[in-house]
Amino acid sequence: MLYSILYSLHSTYSIFNVFRYISFRTLLAALMALTISFVLGPVLIRRLTKNRIGQPIRSDGPARHQVKAGTPTMGGTLILFSLLLSTLLLADLSNPYVWLVLFVTLGFGLIGFVDDFRKYRRGNSAGLHARHKFLAQCGIAAVAGFFLLQVPGFSPTIVMPFFKDVHFNLGWFYLPFAMLVLVGASNAVNLTDGLDGLAIGPVMIAAGTYMIFAYVAGNVKLAEYLQISYVPGAGELCIFCGALAAAGLGFLWFNAYPAQMFMGDVGSLPLGAAIAMVALVTKHEIVLVLVGLIFVVEALSVIAQVTYFKWTGGKRIFLMAPIHHHYELKGWPEPQIIVRFWIISIICALMALSTLKLR
């Protein structure tokens, strides 16, 4: 929107020629998202507190979490507003990938909002029924996957990291694969969101990583040099990823331990799906397992705990799942768990970036 207006002036005023560069607009979008977050964060906290929209604490969670009861939640709206506004103003809205990512973010955000609102109205941690939430996620993922396959030039192939000649063309089977990636990533981030700043740190790291992937995948010369799949138009998602990382940083200012507000499902569900959508577009779907290893481990810990509990008639693998609660009950201080998980995320991101050259 703003990009189209200002870039159209470049023929008259040469200074506006800078808007043709994705790198410049990415930086501008990041600064805009960060500024919006800093300005609106205190306003949102006051509004949430005034309306008593606080976080209900699950009764079976760690006992020391009870002191967090009533902390303002649904802070993910701050991330979404900063992210979407910055993207709409500075991205090329004629690019279909931009609209697909925005659709997924808004769609999953709406599911999270309804879930959080029901928790607020009922005064407990029971929101949307799990089945209804899952079906809604699958529906949005199916629509996004279908239209992704309709984009001219997009290939339904899976590229294996570290192997330049190993790829699989799934055809229409790419649709259920895309649904799996979107829904899986969304729920994995949601499960990770259990400590102050725990989820948003790896989300920011993943967004920064995929900003680089989007840039090289959308640049024909770099893609050819690195021997990765060239995806025309994918570079425009750099603006989205840059805004996402910066919006997350702005939110972290208020979410850092001890948190002034929580993101809620309105934040965790769309953030995971948004990163997954960028992974699909840039043809780095498999690498998402490495970039988001923290999210994967958190999700697997829940699956393993529930499965083992049912098979053994009540025995447990972990003291509590997701796994960050296991370390809490082992006596690790909350800030220590958070920072160590961030460090692991950074290491995984660096390893993922190495796949650009090691193949």
Rounded mean pLDDT for each run of 10 residues along the chain, 359 residues in total: 64 71 94 97 92 68 62 92 96 95 97 89 74 95 96 89 80 95 97 93 98 96 90 96 98 93 94 97 95 96 93 90 92 94 97 86
- Measured at the alpha carbon of residue 325, what is the angle toward residues 321 and 331, in degrees to the nearest 5? 140
User: What per-residue confidence (pLDDT) applies to 11?
Assistant: 62
User: What per-residue confidence (pLDDT) applies to 301?
Assistant: 96
Residue 221, burial from CB neighbour count under 10 angstroms (0-12, 13-18, 19+): exposed
Answer whether residue 309 is part of any domain.
no
User: What per-residue confidence (pLDDT) applies to 19?
Assistant: 76
Q: Which residues contact 193 (CB under 8 A, 6 or more apart)?
A: 199, 262, 263, 267, 268
Answer whether residue 300 is part of any domain.
no
Cβ atoms of 290 and 163 within 8 Å: the answer is no
Answer whether residue 354 is part of any domain.
no
Residue 21, burial from CB neighbour count under 10 angstroms (0-12, 13-18, 19+): exposed
First to last CA, the chain: 39
The pair of three-digit structure tokens given for residue 222, joined into one six-digit string: 């770099």
Count how many domains the chain has. 1
Answer whether residue 61 is part of any domain.
yes
User: What per-residue confidence (pLDDT) applies to 16?
Assistant: 66
Answer whether residue 9 is part of any domain.
yes
User: What per-residue confidence (pLDDT) applies to 177?
Assistant: 97
Cβ atoms of 324 and 192 within 8 Å: the answer is yes
The pair of three-digit structure tokens given for residue 185, joined into one six-digit string: 């990533």
User: Locate tokens 């029924």: which residue?
Assistant: 129
Closest by alpha carbon to 200, among 13, 8, 42, 341?
Answer: 341
Identify the domain containing residue 125 by its residue range: 2-284
User: What per-residue confidence (pLDDT) applies to 217?
Assistant: 95
Answer whether residue 177 is part of any domain.
yes
Answer whether residue 192 is part of any domain.
yes
Length of the chain: 359
User: What per-residue confidence (pLDDT) applies to 194?
Assistant: 85
What count of other Cβ atoms lies within 10 Å of the Cβ of residue 347? 13
pTM to 2 decimal places: 0.93
User: What per-residue confidence (pLDDT) applies to 73?
Assistant: 87
Cβ atoms of 193 and 199 within 8 Å: the answer is yes
Answer whether residue 54 is part of any domain.
yes
Cβ atoms of 262 and 244 within 8 Å: the answer is no
